[in-house]
Amino acid sequence: MNTTSRRKFLQTTAATLLAAPVVHAIAPLGRTGKARLQLSLAAYSFREFFGADVQRPAGKKAAAPAGPEMDMFKFVDYCAEHGCDGAELTGYYFPRELSADYLVQMRRHAFLKGVAVSGTAIGNNFSHPKGPKRDEEIAQTKQWIDRAAVLGAPHIRVFAGVTKEISREEADKLVVSALEECSDYAGQKGVFLGIENHDSIGSAEHLLKLIKQVNSRWLGVNLDSGNFRTADPYADFAEIAPYAVNVQLKTEINPVGAATKGPQPADLPRLVKILREAHYQGFVALEFEGKEDPFKAVPPVLKRMKELFAA
C-alpha cells in the first residue's frame, strides 16, 4: 500500500469510527461457578432504635425507641452475636457530625468482631433538574464514596430518586449522567455503586432500560426483593439477579394486582434458588421492614437464611 493509499485508508477508517454510535451498556456480571451467598444484616432493620442525632433523612423523625437504643458499634456487635458474615451500615444512622476518626474506629471495631462491612446505603436523589440541588446530590454521593473507602465498604446502595419538576424520561437521562460520573469516581476508590429498584423504579424493565445506558465497570444493581411493583415480583427478581452487586432480602413482597391486597410473605427458598441459579456470589443482607419488634423478629429470619444458604 503506497503512502497516499495508506493515508486515505486511515482517514476513511477514522471517519467510520467517529460516525459509529457509542455503545453504552452495562452487561450481566458473568459470574460462573458455584453460588456463594454471604449473610449480612442491614442497619435499616433497626431504624427506630437509633438515636435522634444521626443522619436520618429529612422528614423522617426518630421515634421513641421501644427497646434498647442502637448505634453503629452496637449494631456490629449484634451482627457478630448472630453469626452474620457482614454488616450493612446504612448511612442514615451514622452520627450527624461524622468524623474521619469515627469511620476508622468503626472499621477497626468490625474487623476485631470478625464482621465485614458489606456495604453502606445512602438516600440520594439524582432526578433533580440540572442545578444546585442535583449538584449537591452528586457531591454528597462522592463524599460517601470517600467514606466507604475509609470504612472498607466495597459497595454503596444508591437511588435514582423522584421528581415532579420534569418528566420521568428527562429525569432518567439525568440519572444516567449522574451514575456515570459517580461510578467513575467510585471506581477510582475501588467501590461499587448499586442502584436499587426503588422509588421511581418499580420493575425490571425500567431498571434495565436505565442501567444499560450506563457505561461503567463499577455500577451494578442493589437488588431489593421487596420493591418490585409488578404482577410477578419473582420474575423481575430473576431478570435482575445477573446484574446484582448486592442483594437485600425482605420478608414481604408487594405484587400488583394480587387477589390479597397489601404485603404478602416472601418465599425465601424461592428467592435463594433464583440467586443460586444466577450464580450469585456476594452478600445477601436481610433488610427487615416488618412491623414486629426486630429484636424478636430478626433472629429467626437470620437463622432461616443461614439454613437456606448452607443447603
Residues sharing a CB contact under 8 Å with residue 50, sequence separation 6 or more, in sequence order: 43, 56, 62, 69, 70, 71, 92, 93
Contacts of 34 (CB under 8 A, 6+ apart): 279
Q: What is the pLDDT along the chain (311 residues), one digit of tens a residue?
A: 554 455 554 454 444 434 444 445 577 888 989 999 999 999 999 999 998 899 987 666 665 556 788 999 999 999 999 999 999 999 999 999 999 999 999 999 999 999 999 999 999 999 999 999 999 999 999 999 999 999 999 999 999 999 999 999 999 999 999 999 999 999 999 999 999 999 999 999 999 999 999 989 999 999 999 999 999 999 999 999 999 999 999 999 999 986 667 789 999 999 999 999 999 999 999 999 999 999 999 999 999 999 999 98
Task: Measure CA 141 to chain center.
Answer: 13
- The cell numbers describing 245, all together, are 452487586
pTM summary value: 0.89
Q: Which of 148, 155, 247, 251 is nearest to 197 (CA)?
A: 247
What residues contact 89, with CB distance under 8 A and at least 6 apart? 43, 72, 75, 76, 106, 117, 119, 120, 151, 153
What secondary structure letter does DSSP report for 28?
P
Q: Are 310 and 302 in contact (CB under 8 A)?
A: no
Domains of the chain plus CATH, in order, are 38-310 (3.20.20.150)
The beta strand positions in the chain, using DSSP E, are: 36-42, 86-90, 116-121, 155-158, 192-196, 219-224, 244-249, 252-253, 264-265, 281-286
